[in-house]
Structure 1
């Protein structure tokens, strides 16, 4: 009876009211009954213009079935049922919420996105247990001061509103880890934001910011900072002291210089495309030790420094639509998976080589090192010094690049001599592309402890054997298929899947969500007639490429906004 007393304390008249008397057909009694057991109620997409009283009073009133039948089984005793902890009323026509919100003090999740709310009730301060609040896609111009009372709030989603400023005291949300303020009308970020010491992800994209506060460097746990589509002309140098920063998005601003990052040793992705950057120097590059993705597209770069070779971890480099006329040959020694050069007046590389793709460009640049670089003579000699049985194997690539390369041979099988040539050398990359092999070479298992990159593109593979799962460090796999092989979903270490220019007709979003390390998924130019909304739950994806498929939605305008916008669009359309 303790719970009965507690609920009655909220409303002295509780024992005399019948639940559901004002719900009509908008909220079925069966849904309320299930919610009392599970503690979760989903009313998304029900065309509601207001929240029925029976919802606010779900834990206060005696349920209707109790009035109809007083003989409850052990599992049917209404006074022992669960407090509502999760309420979803998104995709409706709500213009306001009442202070009856306080009747649900146990809520930990409140999702009211995609409504027509212009304000929030002051009673929101009484939801002391709230951990996730989604108010995105509404019409809020200001946030109530009371929101700063939600000290247990971890996720706050305010994107696609009409906010022009941040409430005073916002920094009191000390537990906040994920904050999305994108697509509003913000012109400044208060310096007090730096007190959000628990923040891991901050999205400020698509606002009207002209600067960032220098104090931002105090956010010691911040890993993901998105400032795309603003009016930024400079970045405070203090930002370079953010030691935990891993992902930085600065696309579509007015930057003229690339910032230096002496302290950002963990930075993995830097996106500065669509700015006005004219120069790339060694000082900009030398501290980017962990960088995997560097996006410099649509700027005004005229050259790339030789120091680009310092970016040992770099996997994706986008230099498209600049003014670059030549590339340093040292670029060929990087283990790039993706290199975009379109839209540059390049004179030193023939267009036909560029059209063949990244690996061919890198091979060309490597060959120029051997031809033109005096310091490379020894390496060239070493390449020529091969055993008779290894005459077709690139020993230089094995020893210096840790790569087992047997590509473009039109071979139906990979000869044993290729694997024999490895001997005691460590191999991290395998390139067997542009052959005629129909199955994965069984001896690939011999490299299971070291190999991380495998290129099997442009072969005749129709399926993949489970042996591929034995490659313990596999993070990158390049394939060409008519369908996504089932075995891929079981390789949980995979970070990159490039399966563009195939005939893939579907993907399994539930299995893909389990691939927590997957950050890049390239499905361009396939046969996808529809994109499953559940793919939006793959929140670890940083690059999702879908152009060139016959689906109708998402529209091209959404695809142009980038991965985050695509995932958000898909999530908002997951059926309930």
Structure 2
């Protein structure tokens, strides 16, 4: 009998093995997908998409064919259309035309596969909002992709694209386009028709020029053109009213571009061939906060660099600068100045190694103040005390300076001298003030920047909330533990420094100041943060909570996706581990998101 059974046994195994070669998806996953409308098949080693995935909303499930009775919660005919299909990190080499059988898709993730092309049928997915095809082997992009008018996010980085279809401009709702790490030598002129675009990445291509039509991208906030072969950029970039961050690193620029984009805050031009900084090019950077010029061939800095009074960080590492203008120290907001790798003469090495504050202090000491002289026959009234009032700073630089005096109050003659002068910057740091000077209110029509750091202020007067033009406040190194609720009226405030104070919680009023971009709250006693409230700060890019008392980092903090710098060092939490924190903000936020309970 065993001799007769053996062939049947062999045939059974053979049939079993052939069935195993067919890519399948467990019925349990498909059943759940019919209810939720979402199917995650990432990292399953698939070489092709199984037919039962394409036909999930077309064919009845296996249970229905077997006449199984269904409970109320299992009625397959009441299924949801598949809206989200994740196929990343597989071995897919092609996508079938059957993708058209999933017309309800809003998200299709194909990243990290081996796709060399996309089927034209993909254009029938008219509800699609996110298409991720990065890290594949695409050599062309089918024009049909450009017919998906609901598409908002298109990521194509790390492919082999050398050109793009002219129809790209049809994607009028696109807000994010990533074309980095391809072989692009040119861009279609229709790119300028993407009027909803907010984020455009063109880095690591072979572009030698940019189309003039970029000037029409009136919503773009971030433009990355680094690691290309650009020798110039179109003047039209100045007409981009929303542009906040421009990256031109690793190109072949010989001059700093003339960019009067009114919102430009961060400009990265490192690793180019810039030799000369022209005054007119610096003067038009009216909102600049960060300027990176490292690894160029710059020899001198113009005296007019003081026109950039919003500058907080200046990176001049590895240039050919031999001398620094003393006027550099008059930049009211500059707190980071990087000069390593320059052949500086006339400044002792020990001063350079002590950091930005000491260097700026040294440069300030080289400024010879010239007392204002009344012209012959003039009846102009001279100020009561030339020793107290810095006339040059008030009239020329619109700055009211009274710093490092160890004073317990600010002399009245200082405010008298600033009357009707349109002062924009106030620096009363490093004194012995115990309260905010009441006469600051007199400057409410013009002052935009106040530095009250290194004093003994224990209570923030609501009067400061009347300074409605304020954009930057520095309360660092004081004794504050709370902020007045009236501060929500400061609708232009972009940065606030509260480090080295006595805050035990994140000030609630800050979450009502939607304009905030930078909050520095390090070295306090903050014990918890509310990520839901922080998400209201839609412009927040820098958050420093280092050296506080945080025992727990809520995973939802990872949803604050606008953050580019999150500092959590020096807190007593156990997770995330120090190794995760050390990887930087992007890795930290991604880790936190992965810990959010589903």
TM-score band, normalised by shorter chain: 0.7 to 0.9
CA distance in 2, matches of 1:455, 1:231: 41
Aligned to 1:9: none
Aligned to 2:257: 259
Instruction: Indicate conservation of the 8 Å contact 1:136/1:157, yes or no.
Output: yes
**Counterparts in 2 of 1:364 and 1:374: CA distance versus 1, 3 Å:** farther
Larger Rg: 2
Aligned to 1:415: 434
Instruction: Indicate conservation of the 8 Å contact 1:397/1:404, yes or no.
Output: no
CA distance in 1, matches of 2:248, 2:353: 28
CA distance in 2, matches of 1:527, 1:491: 19
CA distance in 2, matches of 1:127, 1:260: 42
**Counterparts in 2 of 1:28 and 1:131: CA distance versus 1, 3 Å:** same
Please state if 1:384 is matched with 2:384: no
- Give the C-alpha shift of residue 530 in structure 1: 13
- Give the C-alpha shift of residue 49 in structure 1: 3.7
CA distance in 2, matches of 1:183, 1:531: 34
CA distance in 1, matches of 2:297, 2:334: 24
Matched position secondary structure for 2:466: coil
Matched position secondary structure for 1:384: coil
Structure 1 unmatched ranges of 5 or more: 1-20
Please state if 1:424 is matched with 2:442: yes
Aligned to 2:159: 161
Residue 466 (structure 2) aligned to one of 436, 449, 458: 449
Aligned CA-pair RMSD? 4.6
CA distance in 2, matches of 1:106, 1:119: 22
**Counterparts in 2 of 1:511 and 1:120: CA distance versus 1, 3 Å:** farther
**Counterparts in 2 of 1:544 and 1:110: CA distance versus 1, 3 Å:** same
Structure 2 unmatched ranges of 5 or more: 1-18, 375-381, 390-401, 572-576
- Give the C-alpha shift of residue 257 in structure 1: 0.6
Instruction: Indicate conservation of the 8 Å contact 2:109/2:131, yes or no.
Output: yes
**Counterparts in 2 of 1:529 and 1:115: CA distance versus 1, 3 Å:** farther
CA distance in 2, matches of 1:481, 1:251: 35
Please state if 1:340 is matched with 2:362: no
CA offsets per residue over residues 475-504 of structure 1, 9 Å max, x none?
Answer: 323344699964158623331134679999
Instruction: Indicate conservation of the 8 Å contact 2:388/2:414, yes or no.
Output: no
Please state if 1:516 is matched with 2:538: yes
- Give the C-alpha shift of residue 356 in structure 1: 5.1
CA offsets per residue over residues 363-398 of structure 1, 9 Å max, x none?
Answer: 5555544x3345599789356279x99665377887
CA distance in 2, matches of 1:373, 1:379: 14
Residue 393 (structure 1) aligned to one of 410, 420, 423: 410
Aligned to 1:325: 322
Aligned to 2:228: 230
Instruction: Indicate conservation of the 8 Å contact 2:165/2:188, yes or no.
Output: no
**Counterparts in 2 of 1:50 and 1:189: CA distance versus 1, 3 Å:** same
Q: Which residues of 2 match residues 137-286 of structure 1 at below 5 A?
A: 137-262=135-260, 264-286=261-283
Aligned to 2:294: 297
Deviates more, 1:468-477 or 1:243-252: 468-477
Matched position secondary structure for 1:283: helix
Aligned residues: 537
Instruction: Indicate conservation of the 8 Å contact 1:419/1:443, yes or no.
Output: no
- Give the C-alpha shift of residue 325 in structure 1: 3.1
Matched position secondary structure for 2:165: coil
CA distance in 1, matches of 2:383, 2:89: 64
**Counterparts in 2 of 1:376 and 1:28: CA distance versus 1, 3 Å:** farther
TM-score normalized by structure 1?
Answer: 0.77
Residue 475 (structure 1) aligned to one of 481, 487, 494: 494
Please state if 1:93 is matched with 2:91: yes
Instruction: Indicate conservation of the 8 Å contact 1:306/1:328, yes or no.
Output: yes
- Give the C-alpha shift of residue 85 in structure 1: 1.6
**Counterparts in 2 of 1:68 and 1:515: CA distance versus 1, 3 Å:** farther
- Give the C-alpha shift of residue 353 in structure 1: 5.1
CA offsets per residue over residues 159-189 of structure 1, 9 Å max, x none?
Answer: 1222222235333334323210011222222
TM-score normalized by structure 2?
Answer: 0.74
**Counterparts in 2 of 1:68 and 1:381: CA distance versus 1, 3 Å:** farther
**Counterparts in 2 of 1:510 and 1:200: CA distance versus 1, 3 Å:** same
**Counterparts in 2 of 1:485 and 1:32: CA distance versus 1, 3 Å:** farther
Aligned to 1:109: 107
Aligned to 1:50: 48
CA offsets per residue over residues 257-283 of structure 1, 9 Å max, x none?
Answer: 111135x33333222122111111122
Instruction: Indicate conservation of the 8 Å contact 1:206/1:228, yes or no.
Output: yes
Instruction: Indicate conservation of the 8 Å contact 1:253/1:274, yes or no.
Output: yes
CA distance in 1, matches of 2:264, 2:141: 33
Instruction: Indicate conservation of the 8 Å contact 2:272/2:295, yes or no.
Output: yes
Instruction: Indicate conservation of the 8 Å contact 1:447/1:471, yes or no.
Output: no
Matched position secondary structure for 1:169: helix
- Give the C-alpha shift of residue 528 in structure 1: 12
Aligned to 1:70: 69
Instruction: Indicate conservation of the 8 Å contact 1:289/1:313, yes or no.
Output: yes
Matched position secondary structure for 2:437: helix
Matched position secondary structure for 1:442: coil
Matched position secondary structure for 1:156: strand
